């Protein structure tokens, strides 16, 4: 095995073969970088230069893209790049102690490459395995689930022996679906092609009408009406139309799309094909998050089988002119790329910076053409609507939230996993079903969602009450809700793309305040300032990431204030602690921060 700190060993001719395979198209840049790195471990500058030349881009542009994505490395990172999933649920399962243990065994400082260039160990945002954590990712390719001290000891030994990752015990990378409760989407699967036959029999316009009458709303978070989106896309002018499946699933605590893509890939792809029929698209793309790279082979098998069955490709189901095929694009570790316009930028081989809207993707999306972006679960729902009809779908759920919702349940409960319920289900019912006891709080919809306290467990899942993108994280009374909020604040600061000042600076200031409180150096003034930051950021950020970044903070301060006050009170118990001096230090730091923010605003 070669050490990654050696001088770059990439072969220019191999790289040229790769570039030729992608027809030297600039919008394939992210995929080219990903494939190059998969072979060489990192991205040497001469290779970036060759890519720039071949794609007709500047080196600065290529380097800018390479530096944007966390899974790309322009410096050596070790033959074994170990990334611990750092969601709060991983932490609750002991991930921090396991990371320390691994670092000690390997004699490596977290976040740094070992001097022999063999290994680096650090953290990454949630890897979507919260129901079988703690989890880690090796070389952006292979997951290890259900970590234990014994597994860590063995893993350290394998790294020291330089055992290739694909020879590690198979059991370690087992990912279970853990479907605990199935309803229409996760239950019996339609025969491939059945729903498409129904959709074609209706015709594109009547199928569009069916989706509208079913009142289907997107499952990716915003809840936009799918029929309206498709109608806008269908009517938009363009040379070609695109259908994009958003499988980025980066919201911490969310893993339902992972299971839908595993268990119901046909239904998802059939939903995309029905969308293509309705909007008149000939090309589809699945944007699969980098953390789910291990699903790639499975998805390719399903796509090929459908081509062989005449369900993708030219003249689908024998219908002349109905041509549609799908390719898969793999992300590279950037949560913001789940935002649909950032996702399109990434598909086009650029940094995942959200676009200024309007124009919306339905008018000018991928390569400037009309594009509908929908969530994995939304496409799955379409397949069932096409088969059973709008009237049947309307009979499930509530008047404003029709059909079912799939939930990723994790945290303090006996049976974490996947649960599908009709909209309108009580929070308390979900807690009972998954075996949660003495629950203090539930974070519904991930850090961007809402934190509910026990008095709210009678509320119901649905757009009219508690909307959700699918995460359901449970915290019992032993948990410190301040630490939960702090973990989420770090997540947002880490994932801010840095494009706009209120988010870039605001998320960082929130983290600083919370870290200060955690160290026991905070004052009630810091709490007031956190409220101020929330207000400032809410209306001023460019995309939904910044707008939602203070949600957990606002909810937890309002509903679990004693958790924060405990950290303030600790001021009085630190031996030899000078409260007044600390407070004036804190004010000084605050003033410095504010000046910094002010300066940032002026730049
Ligand atoms: C920061 C951010 C991250 C997002 N991540 C996702 C995601 O991982 N998956 C998803 O389907 N939608 C995500 N969205 C919402 C998408 O922008 C978009 O609304 C959605 O893909 C539309 O699909 P739908 O209409 O089927 O819900 C995200 C939005 C924001 C602001
Ligand atoms: S709000 Fe944050 S993530 Fe969104 S564009 Fe601004 S800096 Fe980037």
Using the predicted structure, report yes or no on whether residue 236 has a pLDDT greater than 50: yes
Using the predicted structure, report yes or no on whether residue 561 has a pLDDT greater than 90: yes
Please give the Cα distance from 180 to 410 (Å, whole number).
12
Distance 225 CA to ligand 1 centre (A): 13
Task: Give the pLDDT confidence score for residue 601 in this predicted structure.
Answer: 44
Task: Give the pLDDT confidence score for residue 575 in this predicted structure.
Answer: 43
Two tokens at 441? 């709080």
Q: Which of 544, 411, 414, 501 is nearest to 133 (CA)?
A: 411
Two tokens at 430? 């979900």
* Distance in angstroms between the alpha carbons of the first and the last residue of the chain: 47
Please report the DSSP string for 389-425 in residue order. -HHHHHTSB-SSSBSEEEEEEEESSSS-EEEEEETT-
Give the confidence band of 322 by pLDDT, cuts at 50, 70, 90.
very high
Using the predicted structure, report yes or no on whether residue 582 has a pLDDT greater than 80: no
Across the chain, mean pLDDT equals: 93
Percentage of the chain modeled with pLDDT above 90: 88
Using the predicted structure, report yes or no on whether residue 589 has a pLDDT greater than 80: no
Task: Give the pLDDT confidence score for residue 595 in this predicted structure.
Answer: 35
342 Cβ below 6 A of ligand 1: no
How far is residue 150 CA from its own chain's centroid? 29
**Phi (first) and psi of residue 478, to 5 degrees:** -80, -10
Q: Which of 130, 58, 56 is nearest to 93 (CA)?
A: 130
Task: Give the pLDDT confidence score for residue 538 in this predicted structure.
Answer: 81
Task: Give the pLDDT confidence score for residue 485 in this predicted structure.
Answer: 97
Please report the DSSP string for 432-496 in residue order. HHTT--SEEEEEETSTTSEEEEGGGTT-BBSTTSB--SSEEEEEETTS-HHHHHHHHHHHHHHH-
Please give the Cα distance from 85 to 77 (Å, whole number).
17
Please confirm whether the linkage preceding 358 is cis (ω < 30° from 0).
yes
Task: Give the pLDDT confidence score for residue 461 in this predicted structure.
Answer: 98
Using the predicted structure, report yes or no on whether residue 573 has a pLDDT greater than 80: no
Task: Give the pLDDT confidence score for residue 117 in this predicted structure.
Answer: 92
Atom of ligand 1 minimally distant from the CA of 336: 1
Please give the Cα distance from 568 to 555 (Å, whole number).
18
Two tokens at 10? 């990439």
Using the predicted structure, report yes or no on whether residue 545 has a pLDDT greater than 70: yes
Two tokens at 95? 């991930």
**Tens digits of per-residue pLDDT, 116-168?**
999 999 999 999 999 999 999 999 989 999 999 999 999 999 999 999 999 99
- Of 218, 246, 379, 492, the one to substitute when testing ligand 1's pocket (max ligand atoms within 8 A of C-beta) is 246
**Tens digits of per-residue pLDDT, 416-461?**
999 999 999 999 999 999 999 999 999 999 999 999 999 999 999 9
**Tens digits of per-residue pLDDT, 16-34?**
999 999 999 999 999 999 9
Task: Give the pLDDT confidence score for residue 401 in this predicted structure.
Answer: 98
**Tens digits of per-residue pLDDT, 168-205?**
999 999 999 999 999 999 999 999 999 999 999 999 99
> What is the three-class DSSP state of 180?
strand
Task: Give the pLDDT confidence score for residue 578 in this predicted structure.
Answer: 41
Span 525-554, mean pLDDT?
91
User: CB count, 10 Å around CB of 588?
Assistant: 10
428 Cβ below 6 A of ligand 2: no
Q: Are 297 and 304 in contact (CB under 8 A)?
A: no
Angle, alpha carbons 166-169-173 (nearest 5°): 75
Task: Give the pLDDT confidence score for residue 536 in this predicted structure.
Answer: 86
Distance 287 CA to ligand 2 centre (A): 20
Two tokens at 284? 């589809």
**Tens digits of per-residue pLDDT, 375-429?**
999 999 999 999 999 999 999 999 999 999 999 999 999 999 999 999 999 999 9
Q: Which of 288, 216, 281, 208 is nearest to 249 (CA)?
A: 288
Give the confidence band of 9 by pLDDT, cuts at 50, 70, 90.
low
- Of 335, 336, 375, 500, the one to substitute when testing ligand 1's pocket (max ligand atoms within 8 A of C-beta) is 375
Q: For the CA atoms of 267, 271, 273, 274, what is the dihedral angle to 10 degrees?
A: 130
354 Cβ below 6 A of ligand 1: no
537 Cβ below 6 A of ligand 2: no
Task: Give the pLDDT confidence score for residue 598 in this predicted structure.
Answer: 41
Please give the Cα distance from 198 to 187 (Å, whole number).
20
Please give the Cα distance from 360 to 372 (Å, whole number).
10
Distance 220 CA to ligand 1 centre (A): 5
Please give the Cα distance from 64 to 195 (Å, whole number).
43
Q: Which of 511, 526, 504 is nearest to 601 (CA)?
A: 504
Q: Are 397 and 435 in contact (CB under 8 A)?
A: no
Task: Give the pLDDT confidence score for residue 473 in this predicted structure.
Answer: 98
335 Cβ below 6 A of ligand 2: no
Q: Are 526 and 544 in contact (CB under 8 A)?
A: no
Q: Which of 425, 391, 388, 393 is nearest to 406 (CA)?
A: 425
Rg (the chain; Cα; Å): 24
Q: Is 327 left (phi over 0), alpha (psi -120 to 50) or beta?
A: beta
Task: Give the pLDDT confidence score for residue 195 in this predicted structure.
Answer: 98
Q: Are 453 and 440 in contact (CB under 8 A)?
A: yes
Span 235-247, mean pLDDT?
97
> What is the three-class DSSP state of 518?
helix
Task: Give the pLDDT confidence score for residue 84 in this predicted structure.
Answer: 98
Please give the Cα distance from 347 to 342 (Å, whole number).
9
Distance 506 CA to ligand 2 centre (A): 10
Task: Give the pLDDT confidence score for residue 44 in this predicted structure.
Answer: 95
Task: Give the pLDDT confidence score for residue 569 in this predicted structure.
Answer: 55
For residue 589, with 0-12 CB atoms within 10 Å meaning exposed, 13-18 middle and 19 or more buried, which class applies?
middle
**Phi (first) and psi of residue 292, to 5 degrees:** -100, 25
Angle between helices 376-388 and 194-202 (to 10 degrees): 70
Percentage of the chain modeled with pLDDT above 70: 93
Please give the Cα distance from 353 to 203 (Å, whole number).
37
Q: Which of 274, 265, 257, 333 is nearest to 305 (CA)?
A: 265
Q: Are 447 and 488 in contact (CB under 8 A)?
A: yes
Q: How many residues does the chain have?
A: 603
């Amino acid at each position: 095995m070669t050490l990654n700190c050696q001088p770059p060993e990439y072969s220019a001719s191999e790289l040229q073969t790769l570039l030729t395979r992608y027809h030297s198209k600039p919008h394939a840049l992210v995929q080219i970088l990903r494939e190059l790195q998969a072979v060489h471990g990192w991205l040497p500058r001469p290779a970036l230069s060759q890519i720039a030349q071949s794609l007709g881009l500047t080196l600065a542009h290529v380097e800018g893209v390479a530096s944007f994505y966390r899974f790309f490395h322009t410096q050596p990172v070790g033959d074994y790049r170990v990334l611990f999933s750092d969601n709060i649920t991983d932490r609750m399962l002991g991930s921090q102690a396991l990371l320390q243990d691994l670092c000690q065994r390997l004699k490596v400082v977290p976040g740094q490459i070992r001097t022999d260039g063999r290994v680096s160990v650090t953290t990454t945002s949630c890897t979507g395995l919260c129901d079988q954590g703690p989890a880690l990712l090796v070389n952006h390719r292979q997951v290890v689930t259900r970590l234990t001290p014994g597994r860590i000891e063995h893993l350290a030994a394998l790294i020291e022996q330089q055992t290739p990752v694909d020879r590690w015990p198979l059991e370690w990378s087992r990912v279970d679906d853990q479907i605990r409760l199935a309803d229409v989407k996760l239950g019996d699967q339609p025969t491939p092609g059945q729903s498409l036959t129904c959709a074609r029999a209706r015709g594109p316009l009547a199928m569009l009408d069916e989706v509208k009458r079913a009142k289907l709303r997107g499952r990716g978070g915003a809840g936009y009406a799918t029929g309206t989106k498709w109608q806008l896309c269908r009517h938009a002018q363009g040379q070609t139309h695109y259908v994009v499946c958003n499988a980025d699933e980066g919201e911490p605590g969310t893993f339902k799309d992972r299971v839908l893509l595993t268990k119901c890939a046909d239904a998802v792809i059939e939903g995309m094909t029905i969308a293509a029929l309705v909007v008149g698209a000939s090309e589809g793309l699945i944007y699969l998050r980098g953390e789910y790279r291990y699903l790639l082979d499975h998805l390719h098998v399903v796509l090929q089988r459908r081509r062989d069955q005449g369900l993708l490709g030219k003249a689908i189901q024998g219908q002349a002119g109905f041509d549609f095929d799908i390719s898969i694009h793999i992300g590279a570790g950037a949560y913001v790329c789940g935002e649909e316009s950032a996702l399109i930028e990434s598909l086009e081989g650029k940094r995942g910076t959200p676009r200024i809207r309007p124009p919306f993707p339905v008018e000018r999306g991928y390569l400037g053409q009309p594009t509908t972006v929908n969530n994995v679960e939304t496409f799955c729902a379409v397949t069932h609507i096409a088969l059973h009809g709008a009237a049947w779908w309307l009979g499930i759920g509530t008047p404003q939230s029709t059909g079912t919702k799939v939930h990723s349940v994790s945290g303090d409960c006996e049976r974490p996993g996947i649960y599908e319920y009709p909209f309108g289900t009580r929070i308390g019912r979900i807690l009972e079903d998954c075996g949660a006891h003495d629950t203090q709080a539930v974070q519904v919809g991930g850090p961007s969602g809402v934190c509910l306290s026990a008095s709210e467990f009678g509320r119901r899942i649905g757009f009219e009450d508690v909307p959700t993108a699918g995460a359901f994280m449970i915290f019992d009374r032993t948990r410190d809700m301040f630490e939960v909020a702090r973990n989420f604040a770090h997540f947002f600061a880490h994932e801010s793309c840095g494009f706009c000042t209120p988010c870039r600076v605001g998320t960082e200031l929130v983290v600083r305040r919370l870290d200060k409180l955690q160290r026991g150096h905070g004052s009630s003034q810091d709490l007031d300032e956190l409220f101020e930051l929330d207000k400032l950021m809410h209306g001023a950020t460019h995309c939904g990431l910044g707008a939602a970044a203070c949600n957990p903070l606002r909810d937890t301060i309002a509903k679990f204030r004693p958790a924060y006050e405990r950290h303030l009170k600790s001021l009085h118990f630190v031996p030899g602690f000078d409260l007044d001096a600390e407070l004036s230090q804190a004010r000084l730091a605050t003033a410095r921060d504010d000046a910094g923010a002010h300066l940032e605003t002026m730049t």
